């Protein structure tokens, strides 16, 4: 019985963490997710949030994004690229996938399975602020 309750608490925490990551397009850090989850689960620890983020990433429900040496999380499972704004440090999803065209050639003998590419620059809202 005790185990069952424990199990249920665990999956509730995992669902909450997943829900928080899915609630934003901002590619949040673990700290941000922790802050949001704590609003509804005041007793949850940062370690628990980290563990759940790792579990969700391992099971493929969310993606890990390494940006400027900082680990962030992404619930957008569609194929997309990231535009990283050097001014506000925001990460934006770019759905334009034509840049990774199949015509793109690597030296013979290399079989491409996946393309990872990030764009860096200034986002539209930072441009209007300048």
- For Zn ion, the binding residues (CB under 5 A) are 74, 76, 85, 87-88, 90, 93, 123, 126
Q: Nearer to Zn ion by C-beta: 8 or 19?
A: 19
Q: Return the structure tokens found at 110.
A: 């290399």
Residue nearer to Zn ion on the CB measure, 49 or 85: 85
Q: How many C-beta atoms surround the C-beta of residue 25 within 10 A?
A: 13
Shortest reach from residue 85's CB to Zn ion, in Å: 3
Q: How far is the CB of 97 from Zn ion (least distance, A)?
A: 12
Comparing CB distances to Zn ion, the nearer of 10 and 90 is 90
CB of 30 to Zn ion, least distance (A): 16
CB of residue 47 vs Zn ion: minimum separation in angstroms? 25
Distance set, CA 124 to CA 74, 84, 93, 96 (Å):
21, 11, 13, 16
CA 27, 61, 59, 38 torsion: positive or negative?
A: positive
**Residue 116 CB neighbours (<10 A):** 9
Query: Closer CB to Zn ion, residue 88 or residue 99?
Result: 88
Sequence-ordered alpha helix ranges (H) in the chain: 2-22, 30-40, 46-58, 124-129
């Amino acid at each position: 019985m005790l185990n069952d309750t424990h199990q249920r608490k665990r999956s509730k925490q995992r669902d909450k963490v997943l829900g928080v990551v899915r609630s934003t397009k901002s590619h949040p850090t673990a700290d941000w997710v922790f802050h949001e989850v704590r609003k509804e689960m005041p007793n949850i620890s940062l370690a628990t949030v980290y563990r759940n983020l790792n579990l969700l990433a391992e099971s493929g429900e969310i993606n890990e994004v390494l940006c400027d040496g900082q680990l962030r999380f992404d619930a957008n499972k569609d194929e997309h690229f990231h535009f990283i704004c050097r001014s506000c440090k925001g990460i934006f999803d770019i759905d334009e996938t034509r840049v990774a065209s199949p015509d793109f050639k690597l030296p013979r003998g290399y079989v491409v399975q996946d393309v990872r590419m990030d764009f860096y620059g200034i986002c539209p809202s930072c441009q209007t602020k300048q």
